[in-house]
Amino acid sequence: MKAKPYLQAGALEIVDGHLKGTFDVESMTKAALVTVRCVERDASRRPTIALVLGELKEAYSLQLAYLASLGHSG
């Protein structure tokens, strides 16, 4: 299965079903969308590593807040 069309559509069907309820949807979407941009055929359309890092840091912060709201740590 090719993931790119699903990721571009914002669909999370590619996420392992065992992870359901363990991640923030906005966080996963943000990570997925930056992933799609990283594999653009045209290299000039790919994000810089600084942008990728920034997006992933934001996604991680969202995930941490989600876990904290569930009472989980780490």
Q: What is the pLDDT of residue 33?
A: 86
Which pLDDT tens digit goes with each residue over 14-69? 777 788 888 998 998 888 889 888 988 999 999 999 999 999 999 999 999 999 99
Tell me the chain's radius of gyration from C-alpha atoms: 13
Helices (H) and strands (E) in the chain, counts: 3, 0
Confidence (pTM): 0.76
Q: What ranges do the domains of the chain cover?
A: 4-70
In sequence order, which residues have a C-beta less than 8 Å from that of residue 41 and are 6 or more positions away?
none
